[in-house]
Structure 1
């Protein structure tokens, strides 16, 4: 059955405010919850953070007091939603355990989007990025074993493989080579706009998370690894945000944000296995339907168009968290040696790439390589967790230094 959020009515805005007791949600069980429930929580936290920050930026550029007041009202509700969603994460989980969950989100969400993306250029952008997140998961798994003496497969529940991707040190590129061509807002499929906004938001939250938690560790290698991967997440946000057409008006961007929130809450409501969490997705969907209605009215009034001209007439197939092992292994076997040049991709190192590598390395091995060596020295063997045979590229690791 099709679901058109533009035709649905949600909870009136003046009935959406929740009190402290309603905001005090029970967190998920870290030992028994479906890992993909945690992935959905982390994803929606990133989506809500993006919604809040976008609303703030829009307000800073809006001279209309009435519009600013409406944005403030909706934004406060979004802030309550963000607190509820993020507070579903259990306090007993360590920062590093949550980090591994963040990278599982990056791997399986981006892989799913790449599989579903109809535009070949946008698909390539997601394929390129996912191999780097895949390797980040592996580097943090080494750190997790070394510091907490546990295996990452316990966290990801064998749903996501933990093994080398494109080596992390090769992700450091000249910043100008992280900028992609945007989609064309007038011709792009509505699902392409939702994909771009979703992955940009998720990567942005990962960048924010690492920027804040990295210095909370005492172990030097942990602090350094978060610093290195945090810089790469900045590259990824540049990579993904550049896919969005900058010609979209503020009203159109607001509409797309609210529509995307409806899409994701509906998707996760449809696929959630935890009844208590499912109820939160359903409640937030009914709140977002009203936010979308208000954004649609602003769009019609200030942009002079009908929302149906830019949004899908019905929600696409639900975003689904599921294993992507075969898909990722295919990418590893064909695209592991890609880097970027201008707005495209090449398989050979170029002058700007090599200069950046020399400048950032400073003649030393980066933390992402040292964490593997230190864990290997401590455990006596290299960390491996493969569930479907040997690594698809064998011993190829692109060790250029």
Structure 2
């Protein structure tokens, strides 16, 4: 059954405000939750944070006080939604357990988007990035075993494999080589715009999370690893945000943000296995339908166009968290040696890449390599989680 959010009516904005009791949701049980329920929570938290930050940026560039007030009303509701979503995560989980879940989101969400993306250039951007997040999952899983004496399998189950991707040490590139060409807003498929916003928001939230939690550790190797991967997440945000056409007006960007929130809440409502969490997705979807309606009115007023000119006439197939093992192994086998040059990709190291590597390494092994060596020394072997009957793909450079 088709669903066009532009033709649906949601909860009126003045009926969306919730009190403390309503905001105080019961968190998920970390020992019994479907790992992909946790992934959906983390992904939607990133989407809501991006909605709030974008609204603040728009307000800072808007001279009209009445428009600022309208944005503030909607933004406060978005902030309530973000608190509900993020507070679904349990306080029992350690920072490292949440970190591993963040990387599972990055791996399986980005892999799914890459599989579904119709534009070859955009698809390549997601394929490139997912091999790096895949390796981050491997590095953090070894840190988890070393300092908490637990296996990442407890978190990712058998859904996502834990093994080397493109080595983290090779992710440090000259900043100019992290900028991609944007899609063309006039010709890009609507789903391509939604994909770009989704992965940009997810990576941005990961970057912010690592920036804040990294220095809370006492263990030197943990502090160093969060610092290294946190810098790479900054590269990833640059990589993904540059895919969005900067020629879109503020009102078009607002419309796309609100449409994407409707798309994702609808997707997760359709695929959620936890009834209590599913109810939250449904409630928030009905809130976002009104936010989209308000954004559509602003778009029509200030851009002079109909929203149907830039948005899909119906929601695409639901975003789905599912295993991507075979797809990732294929990428490892064919794209492990890629790096970037300008707005493109090459398989051979080049002068800027080598200069960046030499400068940032400073003649020492990076934390991402040290954590593997330290865990081998402490645990007897490095930690990997591979599906039974499958074997790792050879060819890693480090």
TM-score interval for Structure 1 and Structure 2 normalised by the shorter chain:
over 0.9
Q: Deviations over 1:354-391 (max 9, x none)?
A: 00000000000000000000000001112221115454
| 2-structure distance, mates of 1:390, 1:70 | 55
Alignment deviations for residues 94-122 of structure 1 (CA, whole Å, 9 cap, x no partner) = 00000000000000000000000000000
Deviations 1:177-233 (A, max 9, x none): 000000000000000000000000000000000000000000000000000000000
Alignment partner, residue 207 of structure 1: 207
Number of the residue aligned with 1:124: 124
Q: How many residues align?
A: 398
**SS state at 1:340 partner:** strand
SS class of match (1:6): helix
Structure 2 distance, partners of 1:166, 1:265, is 32
**How far does residue 138 in structure 1 lie from its aligned partner after superposition?**
0.1
Aligned to 1:295: 295
Match of 1:241 in 2: 241
> Which runs of 5 or more structure 1 residues have no equivalent in the other structure?
none
CA distance in 2, matches of 1:53, 1:301: 23
**TM-score, normalized by length of structure 2?**
0.99
Q: Report matched runs for 1:92-171 at 5 Å.
A: 92-171=92-171
Cα deviation 1:268-315 (Å, max 9, x = unaligned): 000000000000000000000000000000000000000000000000
CA distance in 2 between partners of 1:30 and 1:383 (Å): 21
| Runs of 4+ deviating beyond 6 Å | none
Once the two structures are superposed, residues 231-252 of structure 1 have per-residue CA deviations (whole angstroms, 9 ceiling, x without a partner) of: 0000000000000000000000
For 1:373 and 1:257, locate their aligned partners in 2 and report how far apart those are by CA, in whole Å: 43
Question: What is the rounded CA distance, in whole Å, between the counterparts of 1:29 and 1:335 in structure 2?
Answer: 37
Task: Please state if 1:85 is matched with 2:110.
Answer: no
Is 1:191–2:196 an aligned residue pair? no
What aligned pairs does 1:12-23 form with structure 2 within 5 A after superposition?
Answer: 12-23=12-23
Moved more, 89-98 or 378-387: 378-387
Separation of aligned partners in 2, 1:388 and 1:329: 14
Question: Corresponding residue for 1:265?
Answer: 265
Following superposition of structure 1 onto structure 2, how do residues 1-400 of structure 1 map, counting pairs within 5 Å?
1-394=1-394, 396-399=395-398
The alignment partner of 1:345 has SS state of: strand
Instruction: Give the CA deviation at 1:392.
Output: 4.3
TM-score using structure 1 length: 0.99
Task: Check the 8 A contact 1:333/1:392 in 2, yes or no.
Answer: no
Distance 1:147 1:234 in 2: 26
Contact 1:142 1:375 (C-alpha < 8 Å) held by counterparts:
yes
Q: In 2, are the aligned partners of 1:255 and 1:296 still within 8 Å (CA)?
A: yes
Aligned in 2, Cα 1:345/1:388: closer, same or farther, shift over 3 Å?
farther
